[in-house]
Chains A and B, each alone.
Chain A
Amino acid sequence: MATFILRRTGTMILTALCLTFIVFFLTNLYPNLEKLAKTQGNFRMSDEEVASWLGNRGFLQPMPVKYGQWLGILPGYVIRGTDGVLRGKCFGRHMAREDAPRFCGVLQGDWGYSLRFKDEVRAIVGVRLGLTGWLMLMVMAVMVPGALVMGVLAGMREGSRLDRTLSTVSIVTTATPEYVSGVIFIAVFASSAVGLKWFKGTATAAMNDMTFQNFALPVLTISLYGMGYIARMTRASMAEVMTAQYIRTARLKGVGFAGIVMKHALRNALIAPFTVIMLQFPWLLNGVVITETLFNYKGFGWALVEAAGNNDIELLLGISVVSVIVVLSTQLISDIGYVLLNPRIRVS
């Protein structure tokens, strides 16, 4: 088991490096930098001025070198610029030049500075991640049990009335992306014009004071889309297990229906949905971004949109690193969980 986790972790680190490099590469393409120069300097800079502005700040070094510096495995640049000023990546804002460390990248904990929020990226990511964490927690608490119960109930008697009803519900929810369900929810439950006015159409207040009224809609919006998918997976898996021969063995052993479902079918039926739930994270993140934008909940996803919309390169990189790590860790958990749930795979 240890070697397995080690190998998986190795692959994960490699993947993370590749992904962050891609993000780094895309955000550091010249047009992005040019825009950066113009917004930071002034909009009427000539091409030469842009180039020297960028050159003075280390942006025109070769891409792998820049990536290495950002990562913290290459020493940060120290450049005497064309304007005669000595600049260094690691020269802190409140630090004597002599005390500056040689390395200052993500690995050293220096994630850079956000131009949009005028703050350290690390601090921003921490705060926003915390807010989104609450949202995700609520979503998981609603979505996973709901989906599993729905799937198991539908799958245990395939073709029954209950099955048909639940299956229809889950198909409808999988066909409703967050931006559709969110819009409908707001119109129906929160609109001042026609709606029922049960809930709040914005979740901004929930950042400080989470209530059922202001948090129910965003949570419901994200959960609903994922719920249908997981429920259908669970149903399919459950229905398949219920036709397995060992279920017939159990039935002909005299085990009652409840016993069959709980003792014999459930564990086998949950193996497949478990992996699915874990692999849902990449697009759960999607849902978070959409929902946070729609409900104006200033979490991680909202920060992503802000960073991307304002060409805030360092913040965008920080956010990418975090999301990539989140996604990859869930994949790792999914692999390990699969092994633990399925006795047929034993690691020697």
Chain B
Amino acid sequence: MEPLGWADITFRLLIRFTPVWISLIAVFALSIRFRRRLGLYGRLFGSPIGMVGFGVVMFWALTAIHAGLFHLIATHDPLTQIPGMKNSPPGTPVADARTSGAYAYFLLGGDNLARDVFSRMVVGSGIVMLIAPLATVFAFMVGITLGLPAGYHGGRLDAGLSFIANLILAFPVILLFYLLVTPEIVQTGLPSYMAAILFVFPLVFVAVLVNARLRIQPGKRNRVMAATMTPLILLYLVAVSQKDTALSFLPARLDPFDIPAGILVVFVSVVFVNAPTVFRIVRGLTLDIRTRDYVAAAQTRGEGAWYIMLWEILPNARGPLIVDFCLRIGYTTILLGTLGFFGLGLPPESPDWGSTINSGRKLLSIYPHSALPPAFALLSLVLGLNLLADGLREESLKD
């Protein structure tokens, strides 16, 4: 068989993404149809920048879903090496595709271990789109739970927490990664302990949220508290308890899943690096909003401090926080890439974008095709998130 030309490659790539196009059109059609009822999200569709950003982000999110859950889009297994395809240029036909029933071409070529670059990029999106938003959510939980009281109460609490936050911020990120994400440190169980601490924050957050709202109705509060906290605590225990690590307390029967050690340590360090910045943002917003009259009005009603923080201050800080959330997912994606680039944390065969760029860069001068696709993928996702944030900022300022 002949190698494909660039027009053919482009055409075949577009075809491969068919499920993504269909879902993307569906999402846009529905959103635009009901945009008036969808609040800030709906108004996003009035801003061209926001729409483009949202489209790009959704493209990768849908790719991740289709490739990760339904095994669509990718043409080959991201880990399988096919003999003869080592460093093959884009569009190279696979030798015995007819007999093995595999896809007939390496659309974007093969890497130095003869794996399909396109499939690795597509499957890699799953890892990025799972870890980056989730880690950002956790960073926000930590930042909000600590930033609100620091800004609201001020004084020693604020001074102490701010000192710690500045401490972490003054750390060169890369040094922190090199210190935290090494096999030796994983061996000491430090990441597990850090996970145990960081994963508590969502629990604290929800518990405080429920308590603050329903404090004055103790009966209802206890019921709601039990209903929300029981599954959360179970989830927490399951997530924290890991086989063969320092924290392994649940019997295997009760521990249905384990987070792979590599992913956990990457996750924890990314949350750890992001949380202080979120803390500073939340603290700043709180300092500003707590001077408003409606906060004073709540105080003169005798509301508790946490009610004021969570129901009077936090909802009114949501605009800047949502914008920062989008930006921060992008930043987290970049951090994940950095980790991959230095070969830290995730196993070397992992198809995530950072690791693929890392493995591709060594022969960059001769075979640029294996490092460029993940590089552009990462670039487009972060760009999309930045555009989305810009659109949201623009729209949220219109209030």
Cβ-defined contact, B172 with A327, below 8 A: yes
Contact with B along A55-89 (1 / 0, CB 8 A): 00000000000000000000000000000000000
A294 contacts partner chain B, Cβ-Cβ < 8 Å? yes
Cβ-defined contact, A174 with B386, below 8 A: yes
Stretch in contact with the other chain, from B33-41, B162-170, B205-213: B162-170
Interface size on B, residues (CB 8 A): 48
Cβ-defined contact, A305 with B375, below 8 A: no
B321 contacts partner chain A, Cβ-Cβ < 8 Å? no
B148 contacts partner chain A, Cβ-Cβ < 8 Å? no
Cβ-defined contact, A194 with B368, below 8 A: yes
Would you give the shortest CB distance from B77 to chain A, in whole angstroms? Answer: 25
Stretch in contact with the other chain, from B129-137, B224-232, B333-341: B333-341
Contact with B along A317-337 (1 / 0, CB 8 A): 001100110011001000000
Q: Give B residues with C-beta under 8 Å from A.
A: 163, 166-167, 169-175, 178-180, 182-185, 187-188, 190, 330, 334, 337-338, 341-342, 354, 357-358, 360-361, 364-368, 371-372, 375-376, 378-379, 382-383, 385-387, 390
Cβ-defined contact, A171 with B386, below 8 A: yes
Closest 7 CB pairs of A and B: A187-B368, A31-B184, A308-B178, A175-B383, A175-B382, A26-B179, A180-B375
What residues on A are CB-neighbors of B379 within 8 Å? 175-176, 180
What residues on B are CB-neighbors of A294 within 8 Å? 361
What residues on B are CB-neighbors of A174 within 8 Å? 382, 386
Cβ-defined contact, B338 with A290, below 8 A: yes
Would you give the shortest CB distance from B21 to chain A, in whole angstroms? Answer: 23
Cβ-defined contact, A27 with B338, below 8 A: no
What residues on B are CB-neighbors of A108 within 8 Å? none
- How many A-B residue pairs lie within 8 Å, measured between CB atoms? 144
Knowing A29-B184, A31-B184, A193-B365, say if A15 contacts B179 (CB, 8 Å).
no
A124 contacts partner chain B, Cβ-Cβ < 8 Å? no
Cβ-defined contact, B368 with A191, below 8 A: yes
- When C-beta atoms are compared, the residue in chain A nearest to B393 turns out to be A236
Cβ-defined contact, B372 with A184, below 8 A: yes
What residues on B are CB-neighbors of A27 within 8 Å? 179
What residues on A are CB-neighbors of B390 within 8 Å? 171
Alpha-carbon separation in the docked complex, A308 to B177 (Å): 10
Knowing A179-B354, A193-B366, say if A282 contacts B341 (CB, 8 Å).
no
Cβ-defined contact, B365 with A201, below 8 A: yes
- When C-beta atoms are compared, the residue in chain A nearest to B164 turns out to be A18
Cβ-defined contact, A305 with B366, below 8 A: no
Q: Which of A18, A183, A304 is in CB contact (< 8 Å) with B364?
A: A183
Cβ-defined contact, A15 with B337, below 8 A: no
Would you give the shortest CB distance from A286 to chain B, in whole angstroms? Answer: 5
Alpha-carbon separation in the docked complex, A231 to B375 (Å): 23
Alpha-carbon separation in the docked complex, A316 to B365 (Å): 31
Contact with B along A7-51 (1 / 0, CB 8 A): 000010001001100110011011110110000000000000000
Alpha-carbon separation in the docked complex, A203 to B367 (Å): 19
Knowing A179-B341, A187-B372, A285-B174, say if A192 contacts B169 (CB, 8 Å).
no
Cβ-defined contact, B174 with A19, below 8 A: no
Cβ-defined contact, B175 with A323, below 8 A: yes
A121 contacts partner chain B, Cβ-Cβ < 8 Å? no
What residues on B are CB-neighbors of A192 within 8 Å? 365-366
Cβ-defined contact, A184 with B170, below 8 A: no
What residues on B are CB-neighbors of A22 within 8 Å? 171
Cβ-defined contact, B170 with A19, below 8 A: yes
Would you give the shortest CB distance from B158 to chain A, in whole angstroms? Answer: 14
A289 contacts partner chain B, Cβ-Cβ < 8 Å? yes
- When C-beta atoms are compared, the residue in chain A nearest to B377 turns out to be A180
Cβ-defined contact, B387 with A171, below 8 A: yes
Cβ-defined contact, A304 with B178, below 8 A: yes
A172 contacts partner chain B, Cβ-Cβ < 8 Å? yes
Knowing A176-B379, A179-B341, A286-B172, say if A29 contacts B188 (CB, 8 Å).
yes
Cβ-defined contact, B184 with A180, below 8 A: no
Knowing A175-B386, A193-B367, say if A15 contacts B375 (CB, 8 Å).
no
Knowing A171-B383, A177-B337, say if A191 contacts B175 (CB, 8 Å).
no
